[in-house]
Each structure stands twice: as structure tokens, then as C-alpha cells.
């Protein structure tokens, strides 16, 4: 089975000159793409309340994200990414306290686990990659995604994928360095698109999510309603 990757990322609010700045720093625009994301959960949002995020992306299949053990504190997130369906099913069964024998397909277990679509939206993305000046030529580039969702929310993220927890601090240093070069304030965070979608279209569910987490534990960049989410 493929090893799960640890996604270290930092979200930010892009400005009108972000793409120009990426070009100045030597970034390469890989592609512009439009896709639909659909998130699945129980009616009570049992997965999201446990900081698990099950997504089906148009053309890319299923992905489950859940938090790894934070190695470094700060305005970033560290999530384990599962994309192999049997591993996703096993984790879903564990977090939901279910036991479904012989099920290797996510689609097959949606019904038995009581999972249904809770959010769906289209995103236009500009995907960039960039190797910081002075970095080893063999070092994997940082990825910068600039997204605009069809409900009007724009967010950027600087991301590195690593295999081991020991690699997280170095990846985070690079992410913070590039974020600074892009003019992102040191402690700025930005909510994930799905969080903003819930806030706008399922406000009661959004409030219920906020009640589960303390301010230090909010999922994927959430903030209290009276903060900068507005």
C-alpha cells in the first residue's frame, strides 16, 4: 500500500500582484484548471467534527485528510493525505466506529456509513511551482495554488509534501520563507474553501463545528465568526 504523505501547507489571502511576484521569484505556472470538489459527511458532520475531510475531486478521485501530530506550532497545518481507497475506507470506519468487512471502495461504503454530500463547489486554480534561491537542485519545488471558488472566495496556499515527520520543520521553514517573500503577514491564516462554503450556505452547521474546537484547535484555518472570516 502506498505510504501516506504529510501535507504541510499555509493558506493566505492572495493580492492582485501575487502572480507577478511569483514570476519575479522564478516561479513557473504549471497550469490553470477548473474542477469541482464535493465533500461528504454524516448529517451530523461526524467527520468534520473529528477534523476529517472526505473529498471527491472531479477527475482526481477520493481523498481523506486528517491531522497529523503537529511538529511545529504556527499559522500552518499538517495533514495526512490518503488517496488509496482501501486506506480511506479503513480510516473512515475507525473514526466513525464502524466495521464493514471486505469494502475497498469509498463509493460502496457511503450508504452503510451514512455519508452524503454536504458541500460542492467549482474552483478555478492557477498552479505554480517554485524552488527557492539557494536550494538544492534535486529538492522538490514548493507548490503555490491560487484558487477562486464559484461562490466568490479567493484563497492561496503554499504547500510541501513530505514523507516523514522529521522533514516537517525544514519544509515549514521554506513555506514561511516563500510566504514572507509574497508579502504574507507572519501570523496570517485563511480559512479553507469548504469552511467558507459551510459558513455561507450552512451557517448552523458551521456554528456547530466552531463549538467543537477550541480557538487553538480550529480545523483547516477556521476562526470565530466575529474575526476576519467575514
| Rounded alpha-carbon distances, angstroms, from residue 13 to 49, 66, 182, 199, 201 | 25, 23, 11, 17, 21
What is the rounded radius of gyration, in angstroms, for the C-alpha atoms of the chain?
18
- Would residue 225 count as lying in a domain? no
- Would residue 105 count as lying in a domain? yes
**pLDDT tens digits along 71-100:** 455 555 678 899 999 999 999 999 999 988
Q: How confident is the model at residue 1 (pLDDT cuts 50, 70, 90)?
A: very low
| Mean pLDDT of the region 201-216 | 79
Regarding predicted confidence, which is higher, 89 or 187? 89
- Would residue 103 count as lying in a domain? yes
- Would residue 89 count as lying in a domain? yes
**pLDDT tens digits along 54-74:** 999 999 999 999 987 654 555
79/225 Cα distance (integer angstroms) = 24
169/175 Cα distance (integer angstroms) = 10
**pLDDT tens digits along 120-140:** 999 999 999 998 876 565 678
CATH of the domain at 104: 2.40.320.10
Q: What is the mean pLDDT of the chain?
A: 85
Extended beta strands in 42-104, E state: 53-57, 61-67, 77-82
- Known binding residues are 7, 9, 11, 55, 57, 65, 125, 145, 157, 159, 193
Query: CB of 198 within 8 A of CB of 26?
Result: no
Encode 89-115: b = buried (16+ Cβ within 10 Å), e = exposed. Answer: bbbbbebbeeeeeebeebeebbeebeb
pLDDT score of 196 more than 70: yes
- Would residue 1 count as lying in a domain? no
What pTM was estimated for this model as a whole? 0.84
- Known binding residues for Mg(2+) are 7, 9, 145, 157, 159
- Known binding residues for substrate are 11, 55, 57, 65, 125, 157, 193
pLDDT for 7 equals: 85
Total number of domains in the chain: 1
Closest residue by Cα to residue 117 from 56, 195, 35: 56
Range of the domain at 14: 6-213
Amino acid at each position: 500500500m502506498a505510504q501516506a504523505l504529510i501535507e504541510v501547507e499555509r493558506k493566505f489571502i492572495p493580492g492582485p500582484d501575487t502572480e507577478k511576484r511569483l514570476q519575479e521569484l522564478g516561479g513557473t505556472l504549471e497550469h490553470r484548471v477548473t474542477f469541482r470538489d464535493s465533500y461528504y459527511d454524516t448529517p451530523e458532520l461526524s467527520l468534520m467534527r473529528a477534523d476529517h475531510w472526505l473529498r471527491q475531486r472531479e477527475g482526481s478521485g477520493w481523498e481523506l485528510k486528517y491531522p497529523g501530530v503537529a511538529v511545529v506550532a504556527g499559522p500552518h497545518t499538517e495533514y495526512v493525505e490518503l488517496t488509496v481507497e482501501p486506506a480511506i475506507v479503513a480510516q473512515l470506519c475507525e473514526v466513525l466506529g464502524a466495521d464493514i468487512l471486505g469494502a475497498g471502495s469509498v463509493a460502496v461504503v457511503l450508504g452503510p456509513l451514512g455519508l452524503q454530500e454536504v458541500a460542492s463547489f467549482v474552483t478555478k486554480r492557477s498552479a505554480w511551482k517554485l524552488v527557492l534561491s539557494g536550494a538544492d537542485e534535486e529538492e522538490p519545488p514548493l507548490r503555490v495554488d491560487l484558487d477562486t471558488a464559484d461562490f466568490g472566495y479567493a484563497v492561496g496556499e503554499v504547500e510541501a509534501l513530505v514523507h516523514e515527520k522529521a522533514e516537517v520543520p525544514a519544509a515549514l521553514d521554506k513555506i514561511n520563507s516563500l510566504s514572507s517573500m509574497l508579502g504574507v503577514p507572519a501570523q496570517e491564516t485563511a480559512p479553507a474553501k469548504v469552511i467558507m462554503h459551510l459558513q455561507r450556505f450552512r451557517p448552523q452547521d458551521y456554528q456547530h463545528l466552531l463549538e467543537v474546537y477550541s480557538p487553538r484547535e480550529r480545523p483547516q484555518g477556521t476562526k470565530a465568526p466575529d474575526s476576519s472570516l467575514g
